[in-house]
Chain A
Amino acid sequence: MTAQPYLSNRRLQRIRAEYFGSAGSGLLTLISLGLIIGIGWAVLNWALLRGSFTATATQAECMAKGGACWSVIAVRWRVILFGIYPYEEQWRSAIACAVVVVMTILSCLPVMWRFWRLAAVWGLGTAAFYILMRGGYFGLIPVDEQQWGGLALTLFLFVTTSVLGMPMAIGLALMRRSDLPVIARVTGIIIDTIRSLPLLSILFAFAIVLPFVLPDALTGDKLYRVIWGGALFFAAYEAEILRGGFQGISKGQEEAAKALGLPYWHRISRIVLPQAFRLALPATINQIVITFMETSLVVVVGFVELLAAGNTAYQTGEWKFAYVEVYAFISLIYFSFVFGLSRYGAYLESRMNAGQRKE
């Protein structure tokens, strides 16, 4: 990193030092930039410059242009987003999706971080989603759960798994730290067992095995069984995250509350849980992001959510060649949700750290 006398420009000097500090570093720069520009150009060229965007383009026309055939999306986007939901009613599905997006954005705002506000948003939002999708009220035509699909089903799975899983997680975490030894031990074993099983096997067990071991009255629809399975899995992981949060609170807090004569539930709900949640927030958001991605596993037990709907969209004869376009489209949807949420998590983490530095 020798300073070059003829390079008076400081900035240029710094760039030179960072990018071409040594022969190895220079080579690394060239390779990295070459890869980024090469792949970026190839993707741009394929997707936009040579892509076909008209809804009527056929395979031959797309091939002639030599790029992406977005016609498959133009023709099949309704299947990808809404599955086999009745065509005339798909506006309901679209509004329901919008409700979930609004709900997620609302709960990201710090103004909403009060228990009752969050509970109200998620309770009302889930109810609105369900009524819109299921119908039967307000003159909406009933649509059976078996006809739900696409993005709407993915979002439904995500929302219900989190809404059911979070209280379960709190319950499990509290039971695990209970001072009753039997309850604490047994809960610990249950949590560890669930965590060491693959989610797929739990979904499979709930979808296919549960009707076999439960009386008919308790069985319920397959969709809801799968949701309970997913919620249980989420709860086991989230309970451990909360346990980490509990461990981060100094013992004095709870002892002080006890000394003041607060009963158990007040100690937990007013003193312990708020602080534990604050400590566990980054990991919780990470877990919620993972839960969103894992909704796509239900494709294995036969649900037509976003991924499966995408598969059916290209697996009909005429579009078989256009699988890259379809996967690019659904990847973009997953990516925007997941990337947005994880960026938000990173922002929160830095915000909280900033607060701690000041203290």
Chain B
Amino acid sequence: MSPLPFWRSRSVRRIAVQTAFIAILVAGLGLAIVTAHINLAAQNMTSGFAFLTKSTAWEMNFALLPVSRDDPYWWFMLMGVLNTLFMGVIGLSGATAIGLVVGLMRSGRNPAARLLGTIYIEVFRNLPLIVQLYFWYAVATSLPGPRQALQAHGFLASSRGIYTPGLGVSYGAAVQMLTALAVGGLAAVWFVTAQRFRKVERPARRAGLWAILGVTLATCILAAVLGHEPGTLWITTPELAGLSIKGGVRIQPEILSLALAIMLYGGAYVGEIVRGGFKAVGRGQIEAARALGLTNWQVFARVRMPLAFRAMLPILINQYVWLIKATTLGIAVGFSDFFMVIATSITHSGQTLELIGILMAGFLCINFTLAAVLNRLNRAIALKGNLVGVAT
């Protein structure tokens, strides 16, 4: 038997196929870059990231920190990322709260509550998020104008947004308080999940958690006191002043409708995950807990809830990543999230490729960080020998 010719050898073929695969990918990318350069040259523009330091000359309708049209692109993008995170935090916590309630109703024994939960889930889960978003936006903008605003208990509702009573502190102090809360929350998560605190005794860990909470609250109160103008009221309520509304905190229709849509839609999905988590708890464990003489509440709080939480966390992680991505819908109603800032920057600056690259990098960072933190939490709380496989 003569030896096989080299092109029929298995290892040569393997190398050839893989080289061809890479070559096709590289060729595609190269074609894109060359075409982009030709198109850029035709428009007399240069590629590169120099535009990031130029001022934008357009306005952002909502930002947590001061933004003006003279600020550079990078600052706008940072504000966009902050807005995305801000909406993400509101949406995720709202969806989790709603989901917990609905999921508990659905896994309880009361048929009336189960029915209500089922109706909620079927209605909100089976309608596209963007349809719900447009609906809530239409509702929010069809409220009466500021002069005929609806009033109740210090709240005002008008087509310009909902006004709630607010703390009488300066804007800077409010930002400092929010920052303190965010840092405190992150520190608490780190403290609970970090490997190095695993071995610490339970009372000491509890004391540590209380300490973090205390420091956070103290910082908030300090910021509030420093930012409060003496002689003014601590609580400001919104009031009609001529054609506009003064005082209180304004929640713009864009933020209101986006937050509401994400909370209600996400709540339906989280509710199903919560129900699945409770279903995964073995009957034997509940019966064993009952047989030990635990009260109903103890069975729930000490046995069912902790086990269900461990069962649902891996699926919740995916849902949270999905909900963070859903904040990009803000562009449909004009909420300046990261995606909308990038889209507007593309129309204004024309630096398409660079901006798309930044967009992708930004979302990869946000989602990978979120998934990594939650996976860490998942590993930290998993029962020994019972780890559900989650890729980091």
Partners in one complex: yes
A180, A199, A300, A307: the one contacting B14 at CB < 8 Å is A180
Give chain B residues whose Cβ lies under 8 Å from the Cβ of A110. Answer: none
* Interface membership of B329, Cβ < 8 A: yes
Contacts A19-B112, A196-B364 given; does A294 touch B329 at CB 8 Å: no
Q: Please report the C-alpha to C-alpha distance between residue A156 and residue B35 in the assembled complex, in whole angstroms.
A: 31
Contacts A193-B360, A204-B343, A338-B127 given; does A327 touch B135 at CB 8 Å: yes
Q: Please report the C-alpha to C-alpha distance between residue A29 and residue B22 in the assembled complex, in whole angstroms.
A: 63
List A1-42 residues whose CB lies under 8 Å from chain B. Answer: 18-19, 21, 25, 28-29, 32-33, 35-36
Give chain B residues whose Cβ lies under 8 Å from the Cβ of A35. Answer: 116
Among B158-166, B182-190, B211-219, B351-359, the one that faces the other chain is: B351-359
List A305-335 residues whose CB lies under 8 Å from chain B. Answer: 307, 311, 321, 323-324, 327, 330-331, 334-335
Among B89-97, B249-257, B320-328, the one that faces the other chain is: B320-328
A198 touches B116 (CB 8 A): no
Q: How would residues 311 to 347 of chain B score, 1 for a CB under 8 Å from any chain A CB and 0 otherwise?
A: 0000000000100011011011000000100110010
B110 touches A19 (CB 8 A): yes
Contacts A215-B35, A299-B332 given; does A196 touch B130 at CB 8 Å: no
Most A C-beta atoms less than 10 A away, residue of B18, B109, B134, B321 = B134
Q: Please report the C-alpha to C-alpha distance between residue A339 and residue B127 in the assembled complex, in whole angstroms.
A: 9
B33, B112, B131: the one contacting A28 at CB < 8 Å is B112
B22, B110, B346: the one contacting A182 at CB < 8 Å is B22
Q: Please report the C-alpha to C-alpha distance between residue A183 and residue B142 in the assembled complex, in whole angstroms.
A: 54
A215 touches B25 (CB 8 A): no
A201, A213, A339: the one contacting B32 at CB < 8 Å is A213
Give chain B residues whose Cβ lies under 8 Å from the Cβ of A19. Answer: 110-112
Q: Please report the C-alpha to C-alpha distance between residue A21 and residue B109 in the assembled complex, in whole angstroms.
A: 10
**Which single residue of chain A is at the shortest CB-CB distance from B13?**
A180
Smallest Cβ distance from A312 to chain B, in angstroms? 12
Q: Please report the C-alpha to C-alpha distance between residue A21 and residue B112 in the assembled complex, in whole angstroms.
A: 12
* Interface membership of A44, Cβ < 8 A: no
Give chain B residues whose Cβ lies under 8 Å from the Cβ of A205. Answer: 356
Contacts A212-B36, A327-B138 given; does A307 touch B360 at CB 8 Å: no
Q: Please report the C-alpha to C-alpha distance between residue A197 and residue B134 in the assembled complex, in whole angstroms.
A: 22
A334 touches B128 (CB 8 A): yes
A29 touches B112 (CB 8 A): yes
Q: Please report the C-alpha to C-alpha distance between residue A182 and residue B36 in the assembled complex, in whole angstroms.
A: 28
* Interface membership of B368, Cβ < 8 A: yes
Q: Please report the C-alpha to C-alpha distance between residue A323 and residue B138 in the assembled complex, in whole angstroms.
A: 7
A215 touches B31 (CB 8 A): yes
A300 touches B363 (CB 8 A): no
Contacts A307-B134, A338-B127 given; does A182 touch B21 at CB 8 Å: yes
Q: Please report the C-alpha to C-alpha distance between residue A75 and residue B4 in the assembled complex, in whole angstroms.
A: 76
A338 touches B360 (CB 8 A): no
Smallest Cβ distance from B9 to chain A, in angstroms? 15
Q: Please report the C-alpha to C-alpha distance between residue A297 and residue B130 in the assembled complex, in whole angstroms.
A: 7
Give chain B residues whose Cβ lies under 8 Å from the Cβ of A25. Answer: 109-110
Q: Please report the C-alpha to C-alpha distance between residue A212 and residue B112 in the assembled complex, in whole angstroms.
A: 57
Give chain A residues whose Cβ lies under 8 Å from the Cβ of B33. Answer: 213
* Interface membership of A214, Cβ < 8 A: yes
* Interface membership of B12, Cβ < 8 A: no
Interface size class of B (residues with CB under 8 A): 35 or more
* Interface membership of A162, Cβ < 8 A: no
Most A C-beta atoms less than 10 A away, residue of B108, B112, B116, B342 = B112
A201 touches B339 (CB 8 A): yes
Contacts A32-B112, A198-B326, A213-B353 given; does A296 touch B131 at CB 8 Å: yes
B359 touches A201 (CB 8 A): yes
Smallest Cβ distance from B207 to chain A, in angstroms? 34
A307 touches B131 (CB 8 A): yes
* Interface membership of A120, Cβ < 8 A: no
* Interface membership of A208, Cβ < 8 A: yes
Q: Please report the C-alpha to C-alpha distance between residue A318 and residue B325 in the assembled complex, in whole angstroms.
A: 36
B360 touches A197 (CB 8 A): yes
Give chain A residues whose Cβ lies under 8 Å from the Cβ of B360. Answer: 193, 197, 201
Contacts A35-B116, A334-B127, A338-B126 given; does A183 touch B21 at CB 8 Å: yes
B21, B39, B111: the one contacting A18 at CB < 8 Å is B111
* Interface membership of B129, Cβ < 8 A: yes
Give chain A residues whose Cβ lies under 8 Å from the Cβ of B18. Answer: 180-183
List B21-64 residues whose CB lies under 8 Å from chain A. Answer: 21-22, 25, 31-33, 35-36, 39
Q: Please report the C-alpha to C-alpha distance between residue A97 and residue B137 in the assembled complex, in whole angstroms.
A: 29
**Which single residue of chain A is at the shortest CB-CB distance from B327?**
A198
Q: How would residues 175 to 216 of chain A score, 1 for a CB under 8 Å from any chain B CB and 0 otherwise?
A: 000001111001000000100111111001100110011110
* Interface membership of A342, Cβ < 8 A: yes
Smallest Cβ distance from B346 to chain A, in angstroms? 7
B364 touches A193 (CB 8 A): yes
* Interface membership of A293, Cβ < 8 A: yes
Give chain A residues whose Cβ lies under 8 Å from the Cβ of B359. Answer: 201
**Which single residue of chain B is at the shortest CB-CB distance from A330?**
B131
A209, A215, A294: the one contacting B346 at CB < 8 Å is A209
Some 19 contacts from A to B, beta carbons below 8 A apart, are A18-B111, A28-B113, A32-B105, A32-B115, A182-B22, A198-B325, A200-B331, A204-B339, A205-B356, A209-B353, A209-B356, A212-B353, A213-B32, A214-B35, A294-B128, A323-B142, A327-B134, A327-B138, A331-B135
Supplied contacts A35-B116, A201-B363, A213-B33, 8 more A-B pairs, CB within 8 Å: A19-B110, A181-B18, A201-B339, A201-B342, A209-B346, A307-B130, A311-B134, A334-B127
Tell me the A residues contacting B by CB distance below 8 Å: 18-19, 21, 25, 28-29, 32-33, 35-36, 180-183, 186, 193, 196-201, 204-205, 208-209, 212-215, 293-294, 296-297, 299-300, 307, 311, 321, 323-324, 327, 330-331, 334-335, 338-339, 342
